[in-house]
A = this chain, B = another copy of it.
């Protein structure tokens, strides 16, 4: 429990892994937590396991009494809610936060909400390989970065409340403009996903000629193909709302790949090593910091 954040009535819209984990992590920071989810089984599980105090499928009803609302849904579902409906459902001075994976469209839509609603874009850099409310974990956000992107409806008070909420989660706040966020995640999330899916597509093509490729694949392929197994609808949403930044990163990647390929094909082993060594060093430096962060 953080002394810095308290809300009378918290509404979490979308009780998946992320939403359920938010409810667990903020349990001591709210008098009441209401979950909104269209799925009956999800609502029953969340209620029976004390993840929320109330659960309903009606958005208007679910957020009407809330003074803090967090939208936990795929990017375009969040954008649609913000654009079309939620503005008229919320009381003045409600803090509206979201956890969508790209921020430009959502923050734009938030900026058009009625004056009086305090809206901040959010993106926690965490997750699990499993999904669903059953996997909810109060520690999911702990020690992990939580990006906060201001909108035209982010008052100074809204900012302080959002920061306090992030600290209550044990997460590390990073405040930045939506555009900068979207460029950064294009590099560290969207490009990796594209490479993973394209690698699997390439191996599958090889597999048509020689199916033994699947039988020999081992740990390296396992790691490099994991992201390809992510939900296609969710990832399609993400890529479609960040096309320009993704295209820019793909262009940068292509240049690097062409350089390495030229060195390999011309059998310039010195140059190949000069390419691979800094990449190795950068990876080793990063993983050390990342694992130290995870231990905190």
Chain B residue numbers with a CB within 8 Å of A231 are: 280
Q: Looking at the complex, which one of B147, B188, B228, B254 makes contact with A203 (CB distance below 8 Å)?
A: B188
Contact with B along A141-185 (1 / 0, CB 8 A): 000110100000000000000000000000000101000100111
Is there an interface contact between A196 and B224, defined as CB atoms closer than 8 Å?
yes
A174 to B: closest C-beta gap in Å: 7
Is there an interface contact between B205 and A174, defined as CB atoms closer than 8 Å?
no
Q: Looking at the complex, which one of B225, B227, B249 makes contact with A220 (CB distance below 8 Å)?
A: B227
Within 8 Å of chain B (Cβ to Cβ): is A204?
yes
Is there an interface contact between A202 and B224, defined as CB atoms closer than 8 Å?
no
Is there an interface contact between A250 and B261, defined as CB atoms closer than 8 Å?
yes
Within 8 Å of chain B (Cβ to Cβ): is A284?
yes
Question: Interface residues of A toward B: which range?
Answer: 35 or more
Is there an interface contact between B221 and A224, defined as CB atoms closer than 8 Å?
no
Is there an interface contact between B220 and A276, defined as CB atoms closer than 8 Å?
no
Task: State A269–B236 Cα separation when bound (angstroms).
Answer: 7
Q: Given contacts A184-B216, A200-B283, A224-B192, are A205 and B235 in contact (CB under 8 A)?
A: no
Q: Which of A196, A216, A264 has the most CB of B within 10 A?
A: A216
Chain B residue numbers with a CB within 8 Å of A201 are: 256, 260, 275, 278-279, 282
- Other than the given A127-B219, A226-B287, 6 more pairs (CB < 8 A) read A125-B218, A188-B218, A192-B224, A224-B224, A228-B279, A233-B273
Is there an interface contact between B192 and A126, defined as CB atoms closer than 8 Å?
no
Contact with B along A228-263 (1 / 0, CB 8 A): 111111011001100100110110111011001100
Within 8 Å of chain B (Cβ to Cβ): is A48?
no
User: Could you pull out 26 A-B pairs where Cβ atoms are within 8 angstroms?
Assistant: A125-B217, A127-B219, A176-B212, A183-B206, A183-B210, A191-B202, A192-B221, A195-B199, A197-B276, A198-B257, A198-B260, A198-B279, A199-B253, A201-B256, A202-B252, A206-B249, A214-B289, A223-B224, A225-B286, A232-B273, A233-B273, A235-B276, A243-B265, A246-B264, A250-B257, A250-B261
Chain B residue numbers with a CB within 8 Å of A216 are: 125, 145, 147, 174, 184-185, 188
Q: Looking at the complex, which one of B197, B212, B240, B290 makes contact with A279 (CB distance below 8 Å)?
A: B197
Copies in the complex: 2
Chain B residue numbers with a CB within 8 Å of A226 are: 220, 223, 283, 287
Q: Looking at the complex, which one of B185, B225, B279 makes contact with A283 (CB distance below 8 Å)?
A: B225
A148 to B: closest C-beta gap in Å: 12
Residues of A that sit less than 8 Å from B by CB: 125-127, 144-145, 147, 174, 176, 180, 183-185, 187-189, 191-207, 210, 212-233, 235-236, 239-240, 243, 246-247, 249-250, 252-254, 256-257, 260-261, 264-265, 267, 269, 272-273, 275-280, 282-284, 286-287, 289-290
A192 to B: closest C-beta gap in Å: 4
